[in-house]
Amino acid sequence: MPVSPARAAAFDILLRVERESSYASELLHSSANDRLSTPDHALATELVMGVLRWRSRLDADIATASLQPLSKLDLEILIALRLALYQFQWLDRVPQRAALHESVELVKRARKRSAAPFVNAVLRKLSALPRGGDDAQDEASSPEALARAYAHPLWLVERWIREYSLSAAHQICQHNQSVPTTAIRLRATAAEQQLHQEGITLRPGSLLASARRVEAGDITKTQAFRNGDAVIQDEASQLVAALIGHGSQILDCCAAPGGKTLAIADQNPTAAITAVELHPHRARLLQKLLHAHPSESARIQIVTADAQHLPVSERFDRVLADVPCSGTGTLARNPEIKWRLTLDDLAELHQRQLAILRSALAQVAPGGRLIYSTCSLEKEENESVVEQALSESKSYRVFDCRSELAQLQLAAELTWPDPASLTRGSCLRTIPGVHPCDGFFAAIVERV
């Protein structure tokens, strides 16, 4: 009996995530999975994201039932075991016998037929365990208990407790294990009605008047999405773009995939924008996005270059340095990050981010502003980068973003009732779980 398309796709994606350091969300939405029916794609997404979110707990249970150490198991076998156990413990609508049988078949499909009896025996033991979602996770009151209950690396949990408090760390971990809401930005006034006619149920955004949250329906199948009149973009990301304000010459240093670039273009309809992207394939995707909007394409120049060495000579009154980062503020969307990231990575990222910020600061015109931003919760990538860069020159100062948030609130664009809660010191700081969005940091730097 062949393996179901959803489980086969989930298995193949998880294998690539582990072997190639690919991102699950990109693979799930790649053309290779266009053949999946809507229900099969939904199940494949549930399986992939569920296994990645709960990996450490799944592995701990598998270790109790396996006579072999997990480090000795072939990756194909371990993934098949994780897939079945996730279904046992978290998907009450999937019969255990079906999950068990298909994982055994997945091992055979992966040319590991000799391991099929082993997988069958381990899964029969695991089928007797209590459901994973039934734990009293709210009682996690120490770093170790929190990391174990919510399947996070202990070192990350300990950092978040030190930086944000135990309560906030609990909320971060809880949020990361949930399916995140899809937020969109409406670029045309008629888009909302069009989406409604196409069966999409929306509710107002939590932070911004221009944002909506998708309650039901697949936004990617709509004409409004294909036309670019509705753009998928987390509300915290939209807020970072809003902090740019208004300018006539604008530089976006790390532009792809282009959500912030388009947002900046929309709020600056007459500005000339230079969008820099390091990777040629991502620059091509950005170009394709802009081609759907000839007016933007005509005034946005795309440059393929390293933002650490910007190949531009002019000065800009507005600069966005939304730098590559660890992404620890987006773990609900990208759970594989938490199993890959190391302390050494943070140190390397700090140096790269610092180099980009130095390069970007040099392009700010006198009196102009730069927004430095990340989707990271880690201080090394945020305050530490800004402080180090500004310590090297007296030509720049941090502008208190609370003033900018107040202006957005006055303009009825910022609808969050407590703008001060979105800040830490003079910078923007959103925390997943504490706020209804991804974790973003942003500092506004002025050239004096």
Residues annotated as part of the active site: 375
- CA-based nearest residue to 215, from 235, 229, 195: 195
Where do we find the tokens 């294990």? 177
What's the farthest any 2 CA atoms get from each other in the chain? 71
* Per-residue burial over 170-193, b = 16 or more CB atoms within 10 Å of its CB, e = otherwise: bbbbbbbbeebbbbbbbbeeebbe
> What is the CA angle 373-376-380, rounded to 5?
90
Contact 223, 198 (CB under 8 A): yes
Task: Tell me the C-alpha distance between 324 and 303, whole Å.
Answer: 17
What's the sign of the alpha-carbon dihedral 349, 353, 354, 355?
positive
Cα 21 off chain centre by? 15
Q: Report residue 417 as tokens.
A: 């009732």
- CA-based nearest residue to 103, from 35, 50, 47, 45: 47
* Per-residue burial over 7-25, b = 16 or more CB atoms within 10 Å of its CB, e = otherwise: bbbbbbbbbbbbeeebbbb
Q: Beta strand pairing status for 272-277 and 300-304?
A: parallel
Task: Tell me the C-alpha distance between 432 and 236, whole Å.
Answer: 10
